Amino acid sequence: MDFAGVARRILEENMGLKSSETFLVLYDQTTLRIGESLFEAAGMIGAKALAMRMPLLSKNGEEPTAPAAAAMAHSDVVIAATGTSLTHTQAKKKACAAGARIATMPKITEDMFFNGPITADYAKVADLTRRVTALVSDAKTAELHSGGCVMRMSLEGRLAISSTGIYRNRGESGNLPSGESYIAPVEGTAEGEVLVDGSFAGLGVLSAPLHLVFKKGLLVKAEGPDAGRLEKMLGDNTPARNLAELGIGTNDKARVTGVILEDEKIYGTVHIALGSNDTFGGTVAAGIHVDGIITRPNLFLDGKLVVGEGKVLAD
């Protein structure tokens, strides 16, 4: 299938775009052919399509320009195929509140546009993701075991989000390709250590595991060959060290690529994130949101094993 064929399938099957609707694609210098193909495919469907080429933003979670944010809020369907993530931005949150259905594709590559998780059976992915989300939403505590490290946190009063890859109703949003359930742990409650051994947003595939230590919900120590790069990325911004997210991957076609958009969806993995979580139930706005992947964790919710040795136990 060529670019136009993949783009049309995404718009029709994942987004449910209709000829009566308005469509916006945001893209930048890293995603030229992908952005153009989505714009052209929307035209083939008969939708009123607009393409906006954005400047490449400096970090995940940075807000887009005001014209881009306004266009998002006035569209029925939005795809953000950009070099940095707009997933956890106020612009996306406000556009969804206005009724837009939005798929974000941060750091999407042409390989990922044709292969891997984009090819998944999304009905199957959606079913598993929703079952996991129900378990996470019902839990009051989480305990994450990774490489001999243990970290505990409270989830009480928080609701998990399903990113199913299917966004056909007003206000729905998530990544594409997708397949994850995620939640904002209660701020100030994360205590312990975690070994991130897969990849990390902004760093790519890790050369060796990152050993992270949390106290009162904040990252206080990072060790490993890539620790200096992580510290530089976070800078002196204390909110950037907030444990923002706990997520579970549910897509059996996802691979380790160094691109978090794909890596955090890998079936049987767990990811954590640092920085902002105010767009999905938390209270921290840090201007940055970066995820790290744990490849073979054990995750317990209220003492029950939910992810173990590469399997999701959601029944």
226-276 per-position pLDDT tens digit: 999 999 999 999 999 999 999 999 999 999 999 999 999 999 999 999 999
Could you tell me the pLDDT band of residue 314, with boundaries at 50, 70 and 90? confident
The span from the CA of 168 to the CA of 184, in Å, is 24
Copy the structure tokens of residue 113.
Answer: 């546009």
The mean of the pLDDT values for the chain is 96
The CA angle 24-281-136, to the nearest 5 degrees, is: 105
What does the pLDDT read at residue 296? 92
Bridging pattern class, strands 77-81 and 22-27:
parallel
What strands, in cross-sheet order, belong to the sheet with 22-27? 48-53, 22-27, 77-81, 101-104, 173-175
117: cis peptide before it, omega within 30°?
Answer: no
198 by DSSP, 3-state: which?
coil
Whether residue 82 contacts residue 27, with contact meaning beta carbons closer than 8 Å, is answered with yes
Could you tell me the pLDDT band of residue 309, with boundaries at 50, 70 and 90? confident
Q: Is the pLDDT of residue 197 over 70?
A: yes
What does the pLDDT read at residue 1? 78
119 by DSSP, 3-state: which?
helix
Task: Over range 65-90, report the average pLDDT.
Answer: 97
Whether residue 11 contacts residue 45, with contact meaning beta carbons closer than 8 Å, is answered with yes
Sign (positive/negative) of CA torsion 109, 69, 133, 150? positive
The Cβ of residue 77 has, within 10 Å, a number of other Cβ atoms equal to 23
73 by DSSP, 3-state: which?
helix
Task: Phi first, then psi: give them for residue 82, nearest 5 degrees.
Answer: -130, 160
User: 176: closest CA among 239, 264, 238, 100?
Assistant: 264
Place of tokens 């807000």: 63
Per DSSP, 13 falls in state I
Place of tokens 């306004």: 70
The span from the CA of 164 to the CA of 161, in Å, is 9
The span from the CA of 7 to the CA of 27, in Å, is 14
List domains and CATH numbers for the chain. Answer: 3-114 (3.40.1830.10), 119-312 (no CATH)
Which run of H or E residues covers position 114? helix 110-114
The span from the CA of 77 to the CA of 18, in Å, is 9
Quick: pLDDT tens for 118-171: 999 999 999 999 999 999 999 999 999 999 999 999 999 999 999 999 999 999
Per DSSP, 48 falls in state E
Q: Is the pLDDT of residue 315 over 70?
A: no
Quick: pLDDT tens for 79-124: 999 999 999 999 999 999 999 999 999 999 999 999 999 999 999 9
Task: Over range 71-78, report the average pLDDT.
Answer: 98
Give me the residues paired with residue 194 across strands: 212
Residues 6+ apart with CB under 8 A from 127: none
Q: Is the pLDDT of residue 38 over 90?
A: yes
Q: Is the pLDDT of residue 55 over 80?
A: yes
- Report CA-CA distances (Å) from 151 to 99, 184, 236, 259, 300: 37, 15, 24, 25, 11
